[in-house]
Structure 1
Amino acid sequence: MLDITLLRKNLDEVVAALATRGVVFDTERFNRLESRRKAVQVETENLQARRNTVSKLIGQLKAKGEDASKEMAESKAIPQQLHELEKELTAIQSELHEWLSGIPNLPHASVPVGESEEQNVEVRRWVPGNAAADALPTPFDFETQDHVAVGEKLGLDFEAARKLSGARFMVLRGQIAKLHRALAQFMLDVQTEEHGYTECYTPYIVNSSTLYGTGQLPKFKEDMFWVTKGGQNHTDEEEGPAEDLYLISTSEITLTGTVRDEILASTELPMRLTAHTPCFRSEAGSGGRDTRGIIRQHQFDKVEMVQIVHPEHSYAALEEMVGHAESILQRLGLPYRVVSLCTGDMGFSAAKTYDLEVWLPAQNTWREISSISNCEAFQARRLQARFRPEKGRPEYVHTLNGSGLAVGRALVAVLENYQQADGSVVIPEVLRPYMGGETHLYPTEA
C-alpha cells in the first residue's frame, strides 16, 4: 500500500513514478475523494465543537431558570448528524482504500526505466572458468537435448501426472526424485547453516487477509488456487469469521505474514526466515508460455528467503540476499547472470528487483531461476507490521523476499548443463552427499 501521506504531500511525484511502471493514476478521482474527506472531517469537527458549546449553553440557561428547549432539541439532533457524517467518512475511506490497494509500489530511484523485460539491465554474469563480462558457456561437443528429453529417461513422467491432475504437473520417480529432494535440502542447509536464516514450516493454505497483506490480493486473485470460499467448511466457532482460503503461490506469503499486526522490538531485526514448500499457481496470465516441460508448472517447489529489516538497512539486505542466491548457483556450477528489472517489468509489491537467470543450453538462453525484491514498507503498511525504535513512535519495517532457489528450475538447469552424450547426467559435486555418494544419473532401461 502506498503511503497516503506521500500522496497528499507529493502527488505529482507519485504520479510521475507510477507512470514509469505504466500506471496512469487518476488524480481527479483522488482529489475528489480527498476534498470530500477533508470537508466531512471539518463538518465533523465543527459539529463536535457546536455540541460542546450547546451543552454549556443549556447548563447556563437552566442555571438562570430560562427556557433551554430549543438548545436541547439541537443537542438531541447532533448525535444522529455525527453518525451520518461518520458513515460518509467510512464510505469515502473504504473507496480510497479499495482503490489504492490495486496500485503498485513506487520504484526506487536506482531502478532502470523501461516498459518490458527488453529494457532490463544486466548487472553481471558468472560462467565457470570464464571471467569475461560477456562470457557464454562453452558449447557441448554433441547435440544437446532439453530437460524433457533428458529427464524422461531418468524418471520424469508427464503422462502419469496428466492422468492424475492434468497439464502442467509432473511425476518424478527414483533417482530424479532423489535429485530433486537433494537440491532442496542443499539449498536449505546453505541458507540456514551459512547465511543465518531460520528454517520454518508454514501452512500451505492461507486466508485472504494474509494474501492481501503481501499484495497477492486483490489484484492477482485469478492467479491463485481457491481451497474454499468464505462460509464453506467453517464449522469451528473458534476459527472466527469465515474467510476465503487459498493455496500459497510462494512461502513469501506465510513467512512475511508472520509479522502481520505485530510491533517488533528493534533488537529483533533483522529477521531472516526460510522455508521449503510447494507453491501453487494457476498461471492465468501466462498466455500459454512454457507449456513444454517443468519451467512453468501449477505445482512446484521453492526454497524461499525472507528478511524483515530496519528501513535504513533494506538495500544492503537486498544485495546480501542476491549474494545468498548466487552462492547456491556457484556451488552447483551453473552459469547465471544477475539482471536489474526495469520499472515496467517489476512485480506489484517491489520497489526494486534483481532476477537471477540461469543458462539453459538446449534453449541457448538465460531463464529466470530467482527473483529477489525489496518491497520497502509497501507490504508492511498492508500487514500493519512495525517495529519500535529506541525513541519515537513505532515505524513500519521493510520486507524483502527472494527465491533461494526455485527447485524445479534448478533441476532443469542441472539436467541440461550436466547432460552427457550417453544420456547420463553428472551429479554436481555438492549434491553427492545427499545422493548416497552417486556421481551420475543413468537412463533407466526401457
Structure 2
Amino acid sequence: MNQPMPSSPQGEFQLHALTGEPSGLSVFAQPSRTDGTFATDSRGRPTVRKVHLKPATPPPRQRPNGLVTDREWTWLASAKRRWDTVVKQLGDATRAWEVCAALAAAGCGVLQCAFARGAVQHPPQWWIPDPALAARQRSTAAGRRDRRNTLETEAAALSEQLTDTWPGAAASLGRPLGGAQLLWVVRAARDLAGEVSHDGIRAFVQAHHPADDKAREDLPLLLRDNGWEEEALRKLGVDRSPYIGVGGPIKANFGTRELDWTGWPGPHDIRLPHDAEIELRCDQGTEQMAVIENRQAAETICDLYPEMPVIWCRGHHSDRVLAAIAQAAANCQRVLICTDADLGGLRIAERLFERLHSITTTVILDVGEREHEPGRAFSVQVLEQLARYRTSPAPIRDFAAALEHRGHAVTQEALVKRTLQAAMRRPHLSDTPA
C-alpha cells in the first residue's frame, strides 16, 4: 500500500492505490473486532483482513433500470449472499460481478472481499445489501404474507359458500396458486357468489382493476385451467361470444351465406355465436397464413400483403375461435403465429400450437429476438409461471425460455411487422413441432 494506515482507527477507513481496486468503486478496510476496532500487528499497525467495495461518496440509493429482473432484485436486496450463490443466481461469474458492481455503485450495497499482501482478493466473498434496503424488502415481504393470509382466508370462506352449486369453482380456491392468480380467482369467486355478472371479460377487469384493463384478460383460461365450470364462466359474464378478425383471401360461411374477404382491407371483425357455426376457409394450397395478436400490426400486414390470409385475435381463445382458425389453416402449407413476447402471448401461442401443429407446419415467432427497447420487467410470479414451461413441447419451451432469459415484455407493433416480414422471406423455415 502507498499510504500510511491510521494508528488506531475506529470503524472503517479508506485504502488507496491498491492492486485489484475496481474501477468506479473505492476500498474500505473493515474492523476485525465487534467493537469496531482493528487487531494490530507487532508494530501496532491495524491488521486488515477484509474490505468493502463501494463508492467513496455514498450516492442516493436507486435501483438501476434494466439491470436485473424483479425476481433477482428481490433476492439481492433482501439479505447478505455468499458469492458462490450470487454467481449461481445470476448465471455466471462475469454477470454476477457486473451486476453487483453496478448495484454497489448505485448505493444498493457493498461487495466484501478478502484482503492480503496489500491487495484486494478476488472473487468477492459476499454481496451485502444496504441495511435500510434489506429492512424495507423484509417489511414488503411481511406485508405480502399478511395479504396472502387474508386472501387465503377469504378463499376458504368462498369455497365453502360455492361448494354445493359450483364445486369446480370452489375447488379452485384451494389450489396452490400464485398470489396474483389467487387474487383474480377470488375476485371471480366473489362475484359469482354475489351473482354479479359482467358484460364480457374487459368489463370484469375494469370493474376490479380500472388502472390496467389488460391486467387479467386471460382470466377465462386461468379459471378453466383450475376447474371452473363453463356455465359458471357464462354466469359471471366472462365468456361472451368471441370476436375474430379476418383479412386477405379468406372465405366465411354462415349457413348458406358466404362472405369473401379477398381484396378488402382487413382485418374484419366476425362474432362467433354460441349456438351456430361460422366456417372459415382458405384456398387449397395457400402458402402461408399469419395469426397475429396485435391489432395494429394485423392491419399493417393486411395492407402490405393483401394476398396472404391474416387472422387477428387477442386474449384467451375459446374453443370456437380455435376451431375457426383450424378450419382456415387446414388448406395452408404453414401458419405463422406472432404474439406479444410476454406471458399472455406465450399462452396464446401454446393454445394455437396445440391445435394446429398436427394440421400444418406451425411456426412460433418471437418478436423479442429483434432489437428493441425493454418493456415492463416480469414480476416474480410471471417468472415462476414461465419456468413451468420447461417440460413443454420444444417450440413452446423455447419461447418460454427466451422470455424468462430476457426478463421483460416486448409488445411493440413495429417489431411484429418486422418479425413477420423476416419470416415471410424465409419460405423454407423449418417446422417447429416437438
- TM-score normalised by L of structure 2: 0.18
Point out which structure has higher relative CO (alpha carbons under 8 A, 6+ apart). 1
- TM-score normalised by L of structure 1: 0.17
